[in-house]
Every structure is written in structure tokens, then in C-alpha cells.
Amino acid sequence: MILGDARSGKLPDHITAFGRALRRAGVPVDSSRMALAITAAEAVGVERKDDLRAALEAVLVSRQQDIEVFGEMFDAFFRNPELAQQLLSQMLPKAAKAHPVRRKARVQEALTVAGLQARRPDAGETEVKFDAAMTASDLQRLRHADFAELSASEFRLVERLVRDIPLPLPPVASRRERASTRGHRPNWPRALQQARRHDGELLTLPRLNRRRQPLPLLILVDVSGSMERYARLLLAFLHQATRATPRTAFAFGTDLTDLRSAFRHSDTDQMLAMANDAIEDFAGGTRLGASLARLRTEHRRSLVGRRTVVLLITDGLDTGAPEALEEELTWLGRHTRQLLWLNPLLRFDGYAPLASGAAVLHRHAHGMLAVHNLGRLEDLARSMAALMQRG
């Protein structure tokens, strides 16, 4: 390929789009890797698909676990000249039609976000179209749409919208006191100082009032396969909504992952990228009992006495032993103020926690709240405040 060739004018944009799709699928790809990928593609050319694949894989993939994801994403992006007309200016060899293949969930989601919609086996390549800006009626519909039913473009929009939803939790009285005109008890040291200035006369009785401060939060987010569509959105929501609140965040699936360093970043995209790098059991199973056991043994200092409010985000489909979960939840209840269960399965009418893990969790939780759409997240602060006042 000759640099400056009119046919390759959009090659950098298409390689960048491919890198962004990989990043959405969980592959760590930054801007420097994308620039290197563009240079590599220009160096090897696009006449041979194998050469292009090897060059891009060499610069974009740094982890063994991402090789399969890269292969599926590459095959989807560069599968046919009709599609390649928009991706690589009609410069790839034509591939024979094949039946749809099963891809990893994160690959399929990233492809859909990029505009590569799934096709029927008997259908030809269709034109790649990108979604236009949503209307007011679309936004209203999204407010009540279940996160699991969103299209990929809607999912990306909702991910941005959840960052603007506030979560103003009511402050509580702390142990520290401050001077005030109204208070629960007199401020005798200041009263004596005032009396000394007025020849022993006490003109007013100063009082002490307890300071108000937010309760510390312990955020536990389920990142198992059944929670795959909710975990990212709720992490983005809680990262922005709890900025002014002392917080500690962990992700759990088959193991516990510390997200405190990721939550220290003010930028939500950076936090999500760090969380993606840290979580190794994403879209796997759920072992809440084992994860809480590790929290008890390794991170118990993250609990601030009996004042911490626990936000446990899970559907309760635990695969561990119910006895272990019962024991750990009992310990957690003794060392925290309240345990609030944020359950996406409340989207179903008549839901009942019949699973063994869900039944144990239901007995120990002080309240169960729905978090399956934007409307529920907007009402979450009021519901949490009512439960905290009741507690």
C-alpha cells in the first residue's frame, strides 16, 4: 500500500474504530497502541489478510486471555469486501458466506456498539449504519427500559446518562460536636468564658450540637455472567453519585477484587478501564460467601465500626454453599449499620427470592431495591433514605 493512496484515506479511522471496539470488549487498548496499529497496518498493507491480522495482534494484544477475543473481533470486522468498503476501502479479499458463529458476550456487545449488527444466515452484507441522536421520546422510553434489553447504542447512551443521576444520601449525627445556638446540651466551657467577660453574668447559654456527616459506604458489585449487563452501568453510576461520600468498592464473582484504587480516579472512563484490568473473573460464576470471607479476613478495616452502609448489587444467584453465605452475612450484619440489597431481578412482577443464596440474602438484608432502569436509579436515593431512617 502506498501512503497517500486515495483508497486508504480512511484507514486510520477504521483501525481506530477497531481498537475502540476491542476496548469495549475488555481488551486494554490505549491511544498509543492505536497509533502503533495504524503504523503497522500501513507497513504491512492490506493485500493479505493474515499479514494484517498478525500485525494488529502484535501491537494491540498484550494478554494471553485477549487473543481469542481479538480473533473473533478481527473476523467480524474484516469478513467481507462489502463491509470492508467502509472499514478498509474495499481492499480485503472476499470470504465465503458462513453460518453465524457464537462469540463471547463482550465481543458481540462491542461489535453491536460499533454498528456491526448480527445478520441472518441467508442475508447478504448490509450497509453499516450508525445511530443518530435520540429524540425526546426515545429518551423517555429509555428511562423505563430494562438495562438487559437495551441495544448496544442505547447501552452506550445510558452509560453516559447514569453518570448524571444524583444520590443524595441523608447525613447522620456524628460523635463530634460543635458550638451552636441550638443543641442537645449546654457548652459549659464557653458559658464560663462569656460569664468572665460580663462580671459573672451569663447572658446567653451556648450549646453544643452534633456534627452531621454522611455514612461511609461499602459497595459490593456482582460481576458474574448474569449481572454482565448491569455491572458496568452501576459502577459508572455509583462512581459519580457517591463522590462526596466516604466509600469502599469491591467487585465479586468467583473471587473478590479490590476496586478502591480505581474509584480514586475522578474520571469515570479511567475508573472503568482500571476496573476492567483488575477484574479477572468477569462474566463467570458467583460465590458471594467466599468473597465475603476474603473481605472479612483481608479487608475488615474498610468497615468503619457499625456505621457502614453496605450496598450489595447482585441478583442472588449464588453457586456457593448456603451455610457459608449465612455465616458471612451474619458477621457482616454485626459490623455494619445496614445491608441494602440492590436487585435487578425486581424487574419481574411477583419476583420472590426462591434460590438458596437469594433466600439467605433476603433474610439478612434490611431492604431490597430495584436498579434495572434509569427510573429506578433516579428513585434510589429516596428509597435508600426511607430505609436508613427506618433502621
Tell me how far apart the alpha carbons of residues 322 and 225 are, in angstroms, rounded to a whole number.
20
Residue 134 has a pLDDT of: 54
Pure H helices in 279-355: 288-298, 322-334
Residue pair 115/77 in contact (Cβ under 8 Å)? The answer is no
- Tell me the C-alpha distance between 182 and 53, whole Å: 72
14 vs 37, which has greater pLDDT?
A: 37
Single pTM value for the model: 0.63
Name, in order, each residue with C-beta under 8 angstroms of 246's C-beta and a sequence gap of 6 or more.
214, 216, 217, 304
Q: Is 301 exposed, middle or buried (0-12, 13-18, 19+ CB in 10 A)?
A: exposed
Label residue 363 by pLDDT band (50, 70, 90): very high
Q: What are phi and psi of 181, to 5 degrees?
A: -70, -25
What confidence category does residue 103 fall into, taking pLDDT thresholds of 50, 70 and 90?
Answer: low
- Quote the DSSP letter at residue 199: T
Within 13 Å, how many C-alpha atoms sit on residue 256's CB side?
19
Stretch among 22-26, 250-254, 306-310, 313-317 having the lowest mean pLDDT: 22-26
Q: Do 348 and 376 touch, CB atoms closer than 8 A?
A: no
How far apart CA 151 and CA 324 sit, in angstroms, is 38
Cβ(367)–Cβ(311) below 8 Å: no
Helices (H), the chain: 11-24, 31-44, 49-60, 67-77, 81-87, 105-114, 136-143, 152-161, 188-197, 228-241, 260-263, 268-278, 288-298, 322-334, 356-364, 374-390
**Mean pLDDT computed over every residue of the chain:** 81
CB atoms within 10 A of CB 220: 23
Average pLDDT over residues 36-41: 89
Closest-CA residue to 104 (of 149, 68, 154):
68
Calpha distance 191→36 (Å, rounded)? 72
Residue 37 CB partners (closer than 8 Å, separation 6+): 15, 18, 19, 55, 56, 59, 60
Provide the CATH topology of domain 217-390. Rossmann fold (3.40.50)
Q: Average the pLDDT over 347-376 and give the result.
A: 93
Helix, strand, or coil (residue 380): helix
Q: What are phi and psi of 222, to 5 degrees?
A: -80, 125
If pLDDT is split at 50, 70 and 90, which confidence band does 90 have?
very low
| Domain boundaries of the chain, sorted by first residue | 6-114, 176-213, 217-390
What is the predicted pLDDT for the residue at 82? 43
Burial of 151 (0-12, 13-18, 19+ CB in 10 A): middle
Helices 152-161 & 136-143 angle (0-180, nearest 10): 80
Take residue 100 and report the three cell numbers written for it.
Answer: 453465524
How many other CB atoms are there within 10 angstroms of residue 198's CB atom? 9
| pLDDT > 70 in the chain, percent | 82
CA-based end-to-end distance of the chain: 69
CA dihedral of residues 69, 71, 74, 79 (deg, nearest 10)? -130
- What is the rounded average pLDDT of the residues 165-180? 81
Least trusted range by pLDDT, from 12-16, 43-47, 123-127, 387-391: 123-127
With a cut of 50, say whether residue 212 has pLDDT above it: yes
Q: Which of 75-79, 218-222, 228-232, 352-356 has the highest mean pLDDT?
A: 218-222
